[in-house]
Amino acid sequence: MDNDEPVPETKLTSTKRRWAADGKFLTGRRGRPESERLPPGQHLVKDWPVLDLGQQPHIAMETWRLDVTGAVERPLSLDWKAFQALPQTESLSDIHCVTTWSRYDNRWQGVATRDLLDLVKVKPEAEYVMLSSVDGYTTNLPLADFAAEDAILATAWEGAPITRPHGGPMRLIVPHLYLWKSAKWLTRIDFRSRDTAGFWEKNGYHMRGDPWREERYSGD
């Protein structure tokens, strides 16, 4: 699915489009009190719910590839062996889904986005990132969010490889934004000078998605 192609209609997209139109789950609370860990309108879960567009692509490791393109001095096209050879890191973070669930203390292993940025050397005009996945999913991020200290191109969760339903073998995790911004089955990272709406952003969802500001929908 190209970023300019129309979004296909599914039960999930029609439901979430209706939520955006109705402002569902919004509490009106903004900001992050120091005493609170759970963003407004969220509830805690102990499992890790699975949400996707109806596809869970099987990606053979021998054909897996990550392309890093756009406004960078050193574009990359990495196979799995080359990606695994990059500096590896571990992180611990909470995650928050726009469908109102949150999960505390997730342990990740993978490549820190900051290490990837050091490698590709982003050009001064780059201010945004477009993420593309094997299943055609896209989502956009400000470069500053992609470069967050705890953002990670994750290959393992809780000490085991990330499973296919959760975006394995590699997915992005940007824990301070709603989880739809953390693309599963990531295959391309494109650095751009202008912001462009991705899949859910075209369906009424916020261009940034800060859980503490309840940036669920485009009108927020």
Q: How far apart are CA 86 and CA 38, in angstroms?
A: 33
Q: pLDDT tens digits, residue range 114-126?
A: 999 999 999 999 9
- Cβ partners under 8 Å of residue 94, min gap 6: 37, 102, 103, 104, 105, 106, 175
Confidence of residue 49 (pLDDT cuts 50, 70, 90): confident
Determine the pLDDT at residue 50: 87
In terms of DSSP H, where are the helices of 103-207?
113-120, 143-146
Q: How many CB atoms lie within 10 A of CB 91?
A: 17
Q: 64 exposed, middle or buried (CB, 10 Å; 0-12, 13-18, 19+)?
A: middle
Residue 180 has phi, psi (to 5 degrees) of -65, -20
User: Among 220, 209, 59, 198, which residue's Cα sits nearest to residue 140?
Assistant: 198
Which amino acid is residue 3, in one-letter code? N
User: Token match 């940036």: residue?
Assistant: 215
Determine the pLDDT at residue 179: 97
Give, rounded to a whole angstrom, the gap between the first and last alpha carbons of the chain: 27
Confidence of residue 12 (pLDDT cuts 50, 70, 90): low
Q: pLDDT tens digits, residue range 147-199?
A: 999 999 999 999 999 999 999 999 999 999 999 999 999 999 999 999 999 99
The pTM is what?
0.85
Half-sphere exposure of 168 (CA within 13 A, CB side): 16
CB burial of 101-131 (b: ≥16 within 10 Å; e: otherwise) equals bbbeebebbbbbbbebbeebebeeebebbbb
Determine the pLDDT at residue 34: 55
Determine the pLDDT at residue 31: 56
What does the pLDDT average to over 187-212? 96
User: Among 119, 178, 121, 182, which residue's Cα sits nearest to residue 146?
Assistant: 182
Determine the pLDDT at residue 13: 57
Confidence of residue 218 (pLDDT cuts 50, 70, 90): confident
Determine the pLDDT at residue 26: 62
Q: How far apart are CA 37 and CA 56, in angstroms?
A: 31
Q: pLDDT tens digits, residue range 54-111?
A: 678 899 999 999 999 999 999 999 999 999 999 999 999 999 999 999 999 999 999 9
The domain locations on the chain are 43-213
CATH classification for the domain delimited by 43-213, as one of 3.90.420.10, 3.40.50.10860, 3.40.50.300, 3.90.1170.50: 3.90.420.10
DSSP-derived 3-state class of residue 136: coil
Q: How far apart are CA 62 and CA 97, in angstroms?
A: 31
Determine the pLDDT at residue 2: 46
